[in-house]
């Protein structure tokens, strides 16, 4: 299973986008590959898939700082939409920081530049955080207890 939740392996799914062998055909593919890039700490890819307008607000260092501080464990793509100019992807990305499970619930906006989909910006929705107990099932849905999986 790929980090992004697709049933294909990472090598068949998001990795070709991250290494530049393939180009995502939809904003959803791009969004999934950026999620997988957070999981694999591919900071350069995350930076270069920002739209030119918002890219300058970020650095590889800042991106990696966040990516290493949290463990993304699960991605849910809720819905995708498009209008003449943009594609939108609403998703929930669950992550663990210490023993606290939080989620990023966002409706992201994507724009096409030179034939490639790029992340422009997003609207955040409020989410709850909760503490995960050591004997709880791990939020990554591995079937293991938290203490034997991401809680180690
Ligand atoms: Zn993937
Ligand atoms: Zn886990």
What residues flank ion ligand 1 with Cβ within 5 A? 2, 4, 6, 13-14, 32
Query: Distance, CA 129 to ligand 2 centroid (Å)?
Result: 17
Query: Ligand 1 centroid vs 75 CA: distance in angstroms?
Result: 10
Ligand closest to 145 (CA) is 2
Ligand closest to Cα of 143 equals 2
Pairing of the two strands 86-97 and 130-131:
unpaired
E-strand stretches of the chain: 71-82, 86-97, 100-113, 116-125, 130-131
Q: Return all residues near 20 (Cβ < 8 A) that are at least 6 apart.
A: none
Q: How far is the CA of 9 from the centre of ligand 2 (A)?
A: 17
> Which residue is listed with tokens 């809720």?
78
Domains of the chain and any CATH numbers = 15-148 (3.10.450.50)
Asked if residues 47 and 60 have their Cβ atoms less than 8 Å apart, the reply is yes
What's the rounded mean pLDDT across residues 63-69?
96
Length of the chain, in residues: 152
Ligand minimally distant from the alpha carbon of residue 139: 2
Q: How do residues 121-144 score in pLDDT, each as one tens digit?
A: 999 999 999 999 999 999 998 999
Query: Over the stretch 3-26, which tens digit does the pLDDT of each residue have?
Result: 999 999 999 999 999 999 999 999
Residues with CB under 5 A from ligand 2 (ion): 138, 140, 142, 149-150
Pairing of strands 130-131, 100-113: antiparallel
Average pLDDT over residues 101-115: 97
103 in Cβ contact with 93 (< 8 Å):
yes
């Amino acid at each position: 299973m790929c980090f992004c939740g697709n049933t294909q392996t990472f090598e068949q799914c998001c990795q070709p986008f991250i290494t530049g062998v393939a180009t995502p055909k939809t904003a959803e593919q791009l969004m999934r590959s950026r999620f997988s890039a957070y999981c694999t700490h591919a900071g350069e890819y995350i930076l270069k898939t920002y739209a030119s307008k918002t890219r300058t607000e970020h650095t590889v260092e800042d991106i990696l700082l966040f990516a290493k501080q949290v463990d993304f464990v699960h991605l849910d793509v809720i819905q995708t939409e498009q209008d003449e100019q943009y594609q939108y992807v609403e998703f929930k990305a669950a992550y663990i920081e210490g023993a606290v499970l939080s989620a990023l619930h966002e409706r992201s906006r994507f724009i096409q530049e030179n034939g490639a989909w790029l992340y422009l910006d997003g609207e955040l929705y409020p989410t709850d955080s909760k503490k995960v107990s050591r004997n709880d099932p791990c939020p990554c849905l591995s079937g293991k207890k938290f203490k034997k999986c991401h809680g180690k």
